[in-house]
């Protein structure tokens, strides 16, 4: 198996060799469910759990990385295992646990984002003598997938027509004031910014502030590749430097878009006859992207718009009541995409909605999370400035599990072993369909924190974070999964 752990084939007689053998057996159990440990007794103790997890983490392949692990019983509060539990570590997307828990407490699971369309002038004889002003609060859910955005824009057009609007003189104006002025998170890597997972956020957001760029080979070797952008072709200015290569070579594509620019540079080559390659690319200005698309859709659906689409200063006012008012799905629904898909834009939106780190700490300090436990610079965990302790994550998860108002939707949002978000992990083991956890992944970071039920029904909470490793990430994931599988077998 690619990336699997390898142990030397020697006669195991020394104590260190026995330790390595135990590690091998436990790791194999997570990867190959037909392999089963045979415990000496029918019950576990804290000592046996610690011994087995120590054996997993003592594998030579794991020696150069840094690990933080904390496991507790939700039934008794007992600590079953602790390793560097109070060390600050990079959490990657485990930071979403922090953000969602704080947002759910602060806003409530029924919280919705509101977008309104207001008249920037009088409506006379079917003509809006002014601009159509769009006021958003950060709704991240208007996506092109399954035609959601098309249906919403068509419905908005129908409501405008019902209000007597057939023509708009002053164009479409997006107000950019309710959200933070900084679209990007602090400490995001510059070379991530072209990717859809590093899309900026704003008061008005559409299609998760990203588009699909499709690269197709040209008609002959040496010709330029074909480029298309969907679902909103005008979102980017394409600088196409991709050529068509011989059919025998591998495609090599590089994309670059600098902050503050809508110019996307594409370089590399694509083989003749190769199927098209799709890239998910972030847009520059979320609010401008939104109003450009809305103006296009209003015209397509029968409303004349004379003026341009533009972003307004926060001083622009719109007269009268909203002509259209739209509410997003509730936070309990948004949370599912946030956690199972690990959607960064949702997390960043929530982080700003509740007031950033100050708002998060206001919620979490009464739960027992101190400012020294949490260095949070964004909501998603994409920032390399983020740090958190396993202790803080377990404290948050334990509090949520004990709060009837928070528990249900939060647990429902978490990936389940063997299913979406953890599709290929822990399948065929006692953890499949049992363990619920948020993953965290970036270069030299892997994390998994959540809940699992032991073999006798005891609920357990855990946080496992690995940093600064040089082995393949799959090796780290298998060790992490082996720990969770061992917890699923735990029986007193």
The catalytically annotated residue of 55, 72, 96, 131 is: 96
Q: What is the 3-state secondary structure (H, E, C) of 406-459?
A: HHHHHHHHCCECCCCCCCCCCCCCCCCCCCEEEEEEECCEEEEEEEEECCCCCE
What per-residue confidence (pLDDT) applies to 45? 86
Q: In this structure, are residues 93 and 438 in contact, taking their beta carbons and an 8 Å threshold?
A: yes
User: At 386, phi and psi to the nearest 5?
Assistant: -70, 140
Verify whether residue 269 is a known catalytic residue.
no
The catalytically annotated residue of 328, 342, 383, 463 is: 342
Q: How far apart are CA 458 and CA 480, in angstroms?
A: 20
Q: In this structure, are residues 378 and 188 in contact, taking their beta carbons and an 8 Å threshold?
A: yes
What per-residue confidence (pLDDT) applies to 36? 40
Q: What is the torsional sign of CA 181, 187, 192, 197?
A: negative
Which of 155, 31, 49, 59 is closest to 474 using CA atoms? 31
CA distances from 7 to 19, 24, 56, 322, 359 (A): 12, 8, 13, 68, 48
Query: Are 15-108+332-488 and 113-328 equal in CATH topology?
Result: no
Q: How far apart are CA 457 and CA 459, in angstroms?
A: 6
Q: How far apart are CA 67 and CA 315, in angstroms?
A: 50
DSSP assignments along 204-261, one per residue = S--GGGEEEEEEE--SSTTSBPEEEEES-GGG-EEEEEEEEE-TTSPPEEEEE--TT-
Domain ranges of the chain: 15-108+332-488, 113-328
Q: What is the DSSP letter of 99?
A: H
Residue whose entry in the numeric block shows the structure tokens 């956020």: 201
Which of 480, 445, 474 is closest to 462 using CA atoms? 480
Verify whether residue 93 is a known catalytic residue.
yes
What per-residue confidence (pLDDT) applies to 316? 61
What per-residue confidence (pLDDT) applies to 259? 87
Element housing 319 (H / E): strand 319-327
Q: How far apart are CA 175 and CA 347, in angstroms?
A: 21
**C-alpha distance across the termini of the chain, in Å:** 34
Which of 198, 140, 103 is closest to 346 using CA atoms? 140
Verify whether residue 427 is a known catalytic residue.
no
DSSP assignments along 255-283, one per residue = EE--TT--EEEEEEEEETTPPPEEEEEE-
The catalytically annotated residue of 93, 380, 413, 463 is: 93
CATH of 15-108+332-488, one of 3.40.1080.10, 2.60.40.1730, 3.40.710.10, 3.20.20.100: 3.40.710.10
CA distances from 127 to 142, 168, 171 (A): 27, 6, 12
- The residue length of the chain stands at 492
What per-residue confidence (pLDDT) applies to 442? 96
CB atoms within 10 A of CB 426: 28
Q: How far apart are CA 418 and CA 429, in angstroms?
A: 9
What per-residue confidence (pLDDT) applies to 11? 28
Q: What is the torsional sign of CA 393, 394, 396, 400?
A: positive
Q: What is the pLDDT along the chain (492 residues), one digit of tens a residue?
A: 333 333 222 223 333 333 433 444 445 444 443 334 444 446 888 899 999 999 999 999 999 999 999 999 999 999 999 999 999 999 999 999 999 999 999 999 999 999 999 999 999 999 999 999 999 999 999 998 888 999 999 999 999 999 999 999 999 999 876 555 678 888 999 889 999 999 999 999 999 999 999 999 999 999 999 999 999 888 999 999 999 999 999 999 999 998 889 999 999 999 999 999 999 999 999 999 999 999 999 999 999 999 999 998 765 665 567 899 999 999 999 999 999 999 999 999 999 999 999 999 999 999 999 999 999 999 999 999 999 999 999 999 999 999 999 999 999 999 999 999 999 999 999 999 999 999 999 999 999 999 999 999 999 999 999 999 999 999 999 999 999 999 999 999
Instruction: Report, in angstroms and rounded to the nearest whole number, the Rg of the chain calculated over CA atoms.
Output: 26
What per-residue confidence (pLDDT) applies to 430? 97
Q: How far apart are CA 338 and CA 348, in angstroms?
A: 10
Strands (E), 64-126: 66-73, 79-83, 114-119, 123-124
- What's the CATH class of domain 113-328? alpha beta
pTM of the model as a whole: 0.89
Which residues are 213's β-sheet partners? 229, 279
Query: Who contacts 297 (Cβ-Cβ below 8 Å, separation ≥6)?
Result: 150, 153, 154, 157
């Amino acid at each position: 198996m690619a990336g699997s752990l390898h142990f030397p084939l020697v006669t195991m007689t020394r104590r260190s060799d026995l330790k390595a053998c135990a590690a091998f057996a436990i790791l194999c159990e997570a990867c190959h469910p037909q392999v089963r440990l045979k415990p000496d007794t029918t019950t576990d103790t804290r000592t046996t759990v610690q011994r087995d997890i120590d054996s997993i983490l003592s594998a030579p392949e794991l020696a150069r990385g840094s690990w933080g692990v904390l496991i507790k019983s939700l039934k008794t509060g007992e600590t079953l295992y602790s390793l560097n539990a109070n060390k600050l570590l990079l959490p990657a997307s485990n930071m979403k646990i922090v953000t969602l828990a704080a947002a759910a407490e602060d806003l409530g699971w029924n919280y919705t984002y509101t977008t309104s369309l207001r008249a920037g002038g009088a409506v006379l004889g079917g003509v809006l003598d002014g601009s159509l002003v769009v006021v958003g609060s950060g709704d991240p859910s208007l996506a092109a997938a399954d035609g959601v955005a098309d249906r919403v824009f068509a419905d908005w057009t129908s409501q405008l027509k019902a209000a007597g609007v057939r023509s708009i003189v002053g164009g479409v104006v997006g107000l950019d004031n309710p959200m933070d002025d900084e679209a990007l998170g602090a400490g995001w890597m510059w070379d991530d910014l072209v990717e859809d997972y590093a899309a900026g956020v704003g008061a008005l957001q559409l299609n998760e502030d990203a588009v699909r760029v499709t690269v197709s080979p040209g008609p002959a070797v040496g010709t330029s590749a074909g480029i298309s952008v969907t679902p909103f072709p005008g979102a980017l200015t394409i600088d196409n430097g991709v050529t068509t290569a011989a059919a025998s070579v591998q495609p090599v594509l590089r994309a670059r878009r600098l902050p503050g620019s809508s110019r996307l540079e594409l370089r590399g080559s694509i083989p003749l006859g190769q199927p098209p390659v799709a890239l998910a690319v972030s847009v520059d200005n979320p609010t401008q992207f939104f109003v450009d698309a809305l103006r296009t859709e209003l015209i397509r659906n029968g409303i004349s718009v004379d003026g341009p689409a533009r972003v307004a200063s926060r001083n622009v006012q719109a007269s009268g009541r909203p002509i259209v008012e739209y509410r997003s799905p509730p936070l309990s629904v948004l949370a599912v995409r946030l956690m199972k898909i690990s959607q960064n834009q949702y997390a960043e939106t929530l982080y700003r909605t509740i007031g950033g780190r100050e708002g998060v700490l206001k919620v979490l300090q009464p739960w027992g999370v101190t400012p020294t436990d949490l260095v949070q610079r964004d909501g998603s965990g994409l920032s390399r400035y983020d740090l958190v302790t396993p202790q803080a994550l377990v404290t948050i998860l334990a509090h949520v599990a004990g709060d009837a108002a928070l528990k249900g939707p939060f647990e429902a949002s978490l990936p389940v072993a063997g299913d979406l978000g953890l599709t290929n992990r822990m399948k065929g083991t006692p953890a499949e369909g049992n363990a619920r956890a948020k993953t965290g992944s970036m270069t030299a970071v892997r994390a998994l924190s959540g809940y699992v039920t032991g073999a006798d029904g005891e609920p357990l909470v855990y946080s496992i974070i690995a940093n600064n490793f040089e082995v393949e990430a799959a090796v780290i994931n298998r060790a992490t999964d082996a720990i969770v599988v061992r917890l699923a077998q735990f029986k007193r």
